[in-house]
Structure 1
Amino acid sequence: MSFVTLDSVSAATPDGRLLFENLDLSIGAERVGLVGRNGAGKSTLLALVAGARAPISGVVSRTGAVAMLEQAPDLGADTRLVDLLGVRAAWDRLARIERGDGDAVDLAEADWELPARIDHALAEVGLDELDLERPAGSLSGGQATRAGLARLLIARPDVLLLDEPTNNLDAEARALVLGLLKRWRGGAVVVSHDRALLRQMDRIVELSPLGARSYGGGYDLYAQRKALEAEAAQRDLDHAEREVRRVAREAQVARERKDRRDAAGRRFADRGGTPKILLGRMAERAENSGAREGRLAGKLAAQAEEAHALAEARVERARLLGFDLPSSGLPAGRLVLAFDAVGFAWPDGRPVFEGLSLAMTGPERVAILGANGAGKTTLIRLATGDLTPTTGQVRLHVPFALLDQRAAVLDDGQTILANFRRLNPGASLNDAHAALARFLFRNAAALQVAGTLSGGERLRAALACVLCAATPPQLLILDEPTNHLDLDSVRAVEAALSGYDGALLVVSHDEDFLDAIGLDRRIVLKTP
C-alpha cells in the first residue's frame, strides 16, 4: 500500500530554476533514504510530499497522514516543552480538568490517552526526565531535535519526513534516531548524508534533474552500485574514445582510397580513346560514390562523437568534485599545539573541564569527541586563542586555519575571487585565479557569490582561501565540517584530507568521516 504517490511531478526554485521533472515515486511502509547533490531539490521534495508546497506540474496523492520534523522550532520565551511536542491545547485541557476548572467541552474533547503517549514518546527519545512545563529556550539544540522526534511519535503519522535529523547530535542522540527508525513500522523519508543512518534504509532514492532513481537496500549497497556505475561509465568512455579513433582512421583510409581512384581515373582519361560520354558517367559514378562514402563517414563520426560526449559527461560528473590540498610544509617533529593542565570555567563559575593536557606533534590527526555540552567547541576556541583558559596554558606553535560547518571565514556578499583576495591581500589576480582553479573554481566559477554556494562548494572555497595563503596553515581545525555537505562532497573532502600533509584537529560525530581521514588519536571529553 502506498501512503504517498508522486506522478510526473516537476518542481522549480522560486527564481524558476528547474530542480527535477517528470518524477514518479511511491512511498509505502518503508524507510527511504533520499540523497542527491546539494541544490538537487531534496528539501523541496519533502515539502511536496508534506503538502507544504505544490508542484509546477504533476500530481501528489496522499492516502495517509504525513508529518515532518521541524528543523527550526520556536524556542521563544513563552514556548514550553509541551509546545514543541505539539500537544499544548490538549495538555492544557487535561490540566484544567485535573484542577477542577474544566467545562463540558473539555470533558467531551479530552484525550485521556495523551499522557501515556507523551511518556512513551519522551522515553523513546531520551527526554523522559524533563518537565513538560520547562521553557523551550532552555533546551540544547540536541534536546530540541529530540523533542521534535517525540512530537512525530505522539502524532503517529503514516509517514515521517526527516531532513538531516542527525546534524548537530552527539553519538548517543544519533543512536536514538537510528533506533527509532529501526523500530518504525510506517513510512519514512529521510534526507541525510549520515551514512550510518542511511544504512538503516530499505532503499535509497537518488534525486537529480532527470528525476528519482531507486536503489534497493541501504547505503552500502547503493555505494557499491554507484561504484559499478562509475566503472561502467569509464569503460564506456574508453570504448567511445577508441570508436572515435577507429572511425577517424577508417574515414582517412576511405579518403586515401578515393584519392587513389580519382588519380587512376584521371590517368585513364589522359590516355585518350574513351568516349566523353563514358568518361562523364564514370566521373558521375565516382562522385556519387564519394559523396555516399563521405556522408556515411560523417554520420559515423557524428555518432561516435555523440557517444563520446555522453560517456565523457557521465565520467566528468564523478570527477567533478575531486581536488588536492597543497603542501603545508609541516616538519615531522614540530610541536603543533599544547594544552598544559588547562581548566576553563564560564563567568558564572560553571566549569567545562579541569587539568586538560594534550600535545600534537607533526602531521598528527586528532579527533575531539564527546556528548553535546562536553566542551568540544570550547576546546577549539581555547586552541585558537578566542578564549583564555581559567587555569593552565595553551600554546599554538604553527599557523592555523579554523573552518566550521558554515565556513564563516567567507563573506557571503563577496565573490569567491574577492574573498580570496581579501584573505590573501598579497596575491595578484593571476595568482588568485590559479589557486582557485586548483580547487575547481575555474574562470567564471570564481565569480560566484559566496552566499549562493552549496555546502560542498562553500567548504571547498574556504579551503582554497586559507590553504593557498602566502604562509599556508600547518594545522587545520575542523568543526563538524560535513554537516551541510551532500554525499559526493563528503567523499571529495575525505579524499582531499586523506592526502593532506599538515596536522588535523577535528570535531565530528560522523564516524565514517573520521575513519576515512585516518585518525591517529581520539580524545573523548566528559560532560562536566
Structure 2
Amino acid sequence: MPASITLSHLSCSAPDGRSLLSDLDLSFGPERTGLVGRNGIGKTTLLRLITGALQPHSGHVTVHGNLGILHQNVQADPDGTIASLFGAVDALALLRRAEIGDASAEELAHADWTLEARMGSALAKVGLDAPPDTVLSKLSGGQNTRARLAALVFSEPDFLLLDEPTNNLDRDGRDAVLGLLAGWRGGAIVVSHDRELLDTMDAIVELTSLGARRYGGNWSRYRERKALELAAARRDLADAEKRVADVDRKAQETAEKKARKDGAGKRKRAKGDMPLILMNGQKNRSEETGASNARLAERRRVQAHEEAASARERIEVLQPFSVVLPPTHLPAGRTVLAIDGASASYEPKQPILRDLSLAIVGPERVAVTGPNGSGKTTLLALITGQLQPRTGSVKVMTEFALFDQQVSLLDPSLSIRDNFRRINPEANENACRAALARFMFRADAALQPVSTLSGGQLLRAGLACVLGGPKPPAFLILDEPTNHLDIDSIEAVEAGLRAYDGALLIVSHDEAFLEAIGITRRWDLAETGLT
C-alpha cells in the first residue's frame, strides 16, 4: 500500500479547554506539503497527533509508512554525539575494534562496512562536515538542526515531518534544507514561515480558526488565491452590512407606520363614533399584526447581523493585523552609527571581529549577513554597548532600540500593557490600548504577563511597545526578527518597517524579509566588507 497519512473527523483542544482543531478531514500522499497558519492555531499540535505523541479528543489518524520527525527547539543531549543521532554508536564502536583487530568473528559478521560512508553522504547533503564522534553540545543551533536532518534522511522514512526546519540556520544551512527537499521523492509535511522554502512545496494546507483548507501549488500560488478570497470576503461583508442597514431601516419604517396607525385608532376611540366591540376587534387585530411583524423583523435583523458577523470573521482570518508607525523625522544626512577600526573579543587572545569600520547615515537599511559563528551577535553587542571594543571606537548618535531574540527590552514580570506604559510614559491609557490593538493585543489580551507569551507573541509585543509609541526611536536594531513569527505577522511587520522612516540594522537569514523591507546595503561578516 502506498505511504499515506489520513485524518478523519479529528478534534483536539488545548489544556485550557480552547479548541485547537475541530473535525478535520485531511489526507497527505507522496508530495511535499507546507503547513501554514498563525501562531497558536495548532500546527505543531497537528504534527504531534500524526506521530501519536498526542491523542485526539475525537476522530482518528491513520498512517501507512514510516515517519521521520524533526521537532522544534530540541535540546541537545550534553553527552550525545552525531553518531547517537544516527543510532550508530555501537555499530561504529564495532568498526573501530575491527580496525585494530579486536573484534570476534561473530561480531565481524554483523559489521556494516558502508556505515561511515553512508553517514558522511547524509551529512554532506545538509552541508555539515563533522566526524561522527562530534559532541552535540559543541555544535551551534544551526549545526544541530543540520545533523538531525541528516540522521532523519539516513533512516529512510516514507514521510518527513519537519517543524520549522530552517529556523536558526545560516544561508548555507537553508540552502542545504532546500536542496534536500527539492530531491525528496517521498511524502513531507513541513511547518514553516520560510516563504522561500514554502515556494518549493507541491501543496499548501492552511489552518485557521475556521478549519483547514488545502491549496494546490506552492506559496506564491497560494497567496494569489488568498488575495482573491479576501477581495470576495470584502464584497460579502459590504453586501451583508447593506442588508443590515436595509433591515434596520424597514423595521424603523414599519414601527413608525404602526405608531401612526395606532395613533389614528386611539383618536377614533376617543371620539366614540364607533361601536365598542368593533373598536376592540380592530385593536386586537392591530396588536396581533404588530406582534407578527415584530417577530418577522427581529428574525430578519438577527439573520442579517449573523451574516455580517460571519463575513467579518472571514476577513479577520484572511487579513493579517496592520502596523502604522508615527514618523521619526530622521534627517537624510545625520550619522546614526559610526564604527572606526573596531576590534572585539570575549577572550583577549581570541578576536572575533577585527578592524571594522562602518557608518550608517540617515534612514539607511543595512543587513548584516554571514554564516553562523561569523560574529553577528558580537557586532550587535558592540553597537549596543554590551561589549566594549578592544581597539577603535563605536558611537551610536541617536536613540535606538534593540530587538534581540529574547526581546529582553520587555520586563517578563509585567503585562504587555504595563510594559508599554513603562517604555512610553507620556502615552495615556487610550493611546496605549489603541497601539496594542493594532498589534492584535485587544482588551484582556493586553493584560497577559510577558512571561506567558510564545516566541511569536513576545516579538509582536516588543514591536508594539516600541514602534507603537508616540515617537519611535530613529534607529532600530533587529536580530533575526522573523524566527518565531507566523507569516501573517511577518508580512505585517514588513509593512510597518517599509513605512518606518528611521535607520535599520538587521541580522537575518530570511532573504524574502530583507527584500520586502527594502535593504539598501549589506555587510557580509565573512567578507568584512560593504556591498
TM exceeding 0.5? yes
Tell me which moved more, 248-257 or 263-272.
263-272
Q: Is the 8 A contact 1:50 1:67 kept in 2?
A: no
TM-superposed CA distance for 1:271, in Å, is 7.2
User: Cα 1:103–1:45, aligned 2, differ >3 Å: closer, same or farther?
Assistant: farther
The answer to whether the 8 Å contact 2:230/2:319 transfers is no
Aligned length: 527
Distance 1:30 1:468, change over 3 A: closer
CA shift, 1:483, in A, is 0.2
Alpha-carbon distance in 1 for matches of 2:319, 2:400: 29
For 2:424 and 2:175, how far apart are their aligned partners in 1? 42
1:461-476 map, 5 Å = 461-467=461-467, 472-476=472-476
Query: How far did 1:438 drift?
Result: 5.5
Q: Supply the distance in 2 between the matched residues of 1:522 and 1:230 (Cα, whole angstroms).
A: 35
In structure 2, what is the equivalent of residue 347 of structure 1? 347
Question: How far does residue 112 in structure 1 lie from its aligned partner after superposition?
Answer: 4.3
What percent identity do the matched residue pairs reach? 53
- 2:381 maps to which residue? 381
- Counterpart amino acid of 2:347? P
Residue 171 of structure 1 corresponds to 171
- Relative to structure 1, the CA distance from residue 237 to residue 480 in structure 2 (aligned partners, 3 Å threshold; closer, same or farther) is same
- What is the RMSD computed on CA atoms of the aligned residues? 2.7
* Equivalent residue number for residue 3 of structure 1: 4
Over residues 121-164 of structure 1, what are the superposed CA-to-partner deviations in whole Å (9 max), with x where a residue is unaligned?
1221122x422223333322222211111101110001111111
Once the 2 structures are TM-superposed, how far is the Cα of residue 227 of structure 1 from its aligned partner?
A: 1.8
Once the 2 structures are TM-superposed, how far is the Cα of residue 317 of structure 1 from its aligned partner?
4.0
Q: Could you tell me which residue of structure 1 aligns to residue 37 of structure 2?
A: 36
Partner of residue 19, structure 1: 20
Partner of 2:80: 79
CA displacement, residues 418-441 of structure 1 (integer Å, 9 cap, x when unaligned):
333454567776775565456443
Describe the superposition over 1:79-98 as per-residue Cα deviations: whole angstroms up to 9, x where unpaired: 32212333222322333334
**In the TM superposition, what is the alpha-carbon distance from 1:260 to its structure 2 partner?**
4.2
Answer with 156-165 or 455-464: which moved more.
455-464
Map residues 97-116 of structure 1 onto 2, 5 A cutoff.
97-103=98-104, 106-116=107-117
1:514 Cα offset (Å): 1.1
User: CA 1:3–1:101 in structure 2 vs 1: closer, same or farther (change >3 Å)?
Assistant: farther
TM score, norm. by length of structure 1: 0.91
Looking at structure 2, the residues matched to 470 and 195 of structure 1 have their Cα atoms a distance apart, in angstroms, of 32
Matched position secondary structure for 2:30:
coil
User: Structure 1 residues 95, 26: closer, same or farther in 2, change over 3 A?
Assistant: farther
Q: CA deviation at 1:177?
A: 0.4
CA distance in 1, matches of 2:430, 2:319: 25
Alignment-derived partner of residue 190 in structure 1: 190
1:55 equivalenced with 2:48 (yes/no): no
1:388 maps to a residue whose letter is: Q
Change (3 A) 1:486 1:77: closer
The DSSP-based 3-state class of the residue aligned with 1:23 is strand
Q: 1-side partners of 2:278 and 2:114: how far apart?
A: 104
Aligned counterpart, 2:409: 409
- Name the SS for the 1:519 alignment partner: coil
Q: Is the 8 A contact 2:320 2:489 kept in 1?
A: no
Alpha-carbon distance in 1 for matches of 2:422, 2:276: 80
Partner Cα distance (2:108, 2:16) in 1: 50
Q: Quick one: distance in 1 between partners of 2:192 and 2:98?
A: 43
The TM-score, its normalising length taken from structure 2, stands at 0.91
Whether the 8 Å contact between 2:339 and 2:359 is mirrored in structure 1 is: yes
1:93 maps to what in 2? 94
Structure 1 residues 90, 16: closer, same or farther in 2, change over 3 A? Answer: farther
CA contact (8 A) 1:456 1:485 kept: yes
Matches within 5 A, 1:317-396: 317-318=317-318, 321-347=321-347, 349-396=349-396
Contact residue 368 and residue 524 of structure 1 kept, 8 A: yes
- List runs of 5+ in structure 2 lacking aligned partners: none
Closer, same or farther in 2 for the Cα pair 1:15/1:93, shift >3 Å? farther
Give, in angstroms, the shift of residue 398 of structure 1: 0.5
